[in-house]
Amino acid sequence: MKQPFRRLPLILIVFVSVLFSVKYGVRFIGPKAYWVAGIISLFYAALATIGPSLFNKLNKFKSGAFIITVLMSMVFCIAVDFVVKPESVKVDRWSAITGWDGKFLRGEYPYEARTHLGGIVSGLPGLFLLTLPFYIAGDIGYFQAATVFLFGLACFMLFKRENGLTVFLLFLLSTGFLWEMYVRSDIGGNAVIVALCLILFERFRGKKTKKIIFLAGILFGIVMTTRTVFIIPFSVYLIRWLDFKKIGSIILFSISSLIFFCALLFPFLVWNLNAFLSNNPFVEQSDKMPISLSVVFVGLAIGCGLFTKTLDRALLVSGYLLFGLISTAFFVKILKVGLSEALFSSRFDISYYMIALPFLILSVTISRAVTSNQCPRQADM
């Protein structure tokens, strides 16, 4: 029996891959980047045709093959870290992290850090604390190896032996992740963690004790100190995961999440109030993603969540909404400054598409992690 296969997420993945190939490929290989983008498009077009059959063939692999593939991929990520010197990369995501983490460990106010290109460091604190262990280990690029492991774990939990290897390879070989690995970015890994949180929450859907609700609130609060845009997938999922008839559970979840959100954020506000206000991560994020636009998509997420009954659908809808939010912001920027300025002069950061990519890839095929009576039987868009 062929596995249900969604083509719309694949089309969006193609768009992201082509966008990365064109923008960053032009920097290194010039006009040949357009040929590369064309080849990538043909590859995905072929995959859209033979996808279900390919999935079924890869299902024959034992779990050991999947584990070996994940481990070898992690080794590959670490090898890239040794070969590629971060100073040679004209993208400052890695130095934003190392600058913040370095000042923090030295007891200096971290939001006064600057990147190796002179840029301002302005992310939320949870993002930098997430990468702090890798900075201490000697290279924040190790975060990419951790991302590979976590995405492999998500595939294993979501698909078991059904399509897990194929979905994992789609992520590993995507142009977006390969770019992230090269420049030591954190966006895709951050999104993988959010997707994994939803998968973990699903494991306790029927076991929501007070302890589980409290721990879920803590996890939600901590994750929200990385990037506020992740309120969208959480809104899609939690609107049905939480029982709003049980006011006590809602209060417990809200209080636990708020306490830990504030516990990670307020120390930096109190540490140096003037510096925090002048270099406010919320202002920086709203500048890149207008608040009004974000509010509209959060409302859409809540509305969609009311009709999203399974984890599988929640991941799919989250991918669509995140892609839609980023694309709308990109389109608005194009209207303001033109396509060339927005894309090639980096007036818009297309790396934000990595926020949506893990959700789209996990949604290419229907997961059997949901219960059999809930899982759609036909491939849908």
What is the spatial distance between Cα 34 and Cα 26, in angstroms, rounded to a whole number? 8
Hey, what are 198's tokens?
């939803």
Q: What is the pLDDT of residue 62?
A: 63
Domain that holds residue 172: 8-362
Asked whether residue 260 is assigned to any structural domain, the reply reads: yes
Asked if the structure places residue 121 within a domain, the reply is yes
Averaged over 267-286, what is the pLDDT?
A: 76
How far apart, in whole angstroms, are the C-alpha atoms of residue 373 and residue 377? 10
Res 243: pLDDT: 84
85 belongs to a structural domain: yes
Query: Which range among 39-48, 80-89, 188-197, 249-258 shows the weakest confidence by mean pLDDT?
Result: 39-48
**pLDDT confidence of residue 165:** 80
How do residues 289-327 score in pLDDT, each as one tens digit? 777 888 899 999 999 999 998 999 999 999 999 999 999
Q: At what angle do helices 247-271 and 125-137 cross, to 10 degrees?
A: 70
* Confidence check: pLDDT of 369 > 50: yes
Burial class (CB in 10 A: 0-12, 13-18, 19+), 208: middle
CA distances from 222 to 57, 130, 196, 200, 261 (A): 40, 10, 14, 15, 6
**pLDDT score of 345:** 79
Residue, of 173 and 362, whose pLDDT is higher:
362
Counted domains in the chain: 1
Q: Does 338 reside within a domain?
A: yes
Q: What is the pLDDT of residues 328-366, one digit of tens each?
A: 999 998 998 998 888 887 788 899 999 999 999 999 876
| Residue 77 CA, distance from chain mean position | 18
Q: Is residue 17 part of a domain?
A: yes
For residues 216 and 218, give the distance between their C-alpha atoms in angstroms, rounded to a whole number. 5
Supply the pLDDT for residue 4. Answer: 60
Query: Which residues are CB-neighbours of 100 under 8 A, at least 6 positions away?
Result: 110, 111, 113, 121, 123, 128
Residue 380 falls inside a structural domain: no
pLDDT at 372: 37
Question: In this predicted structure, which of 85-94, 97-106, 130-139, 230-239 has the lowest mean pLDDT?
Answer: 85-94
Report yes or no: 370 and 312 within 8 Å, Cβ to Cβ: yes
* Distance (Å, whole) CA 287 – CA 181: 26
Query: For residue 4, what are the CA distances in angstroms to 51, 162, 163, 178, 210?
Result: 10, 11, 11, 27, 37
In a domain, 192, yes or no: yes
Cα gap 296→293, rounded to integer Å = 5
Rounded distance between C-alpha atoms, residue 313 and residue 304, angstroms:
10
Candidates 200, 199, 180; CA nearest to 189 is 180
46/199: higher pLDDT: 199
DSSP characters over 302-347: HHHHTT--SHHHHHHHHHHHHHHHHHHHHHHHHHHH-HHHHHTT-S
Residue 371 inside a domain? The answer is no
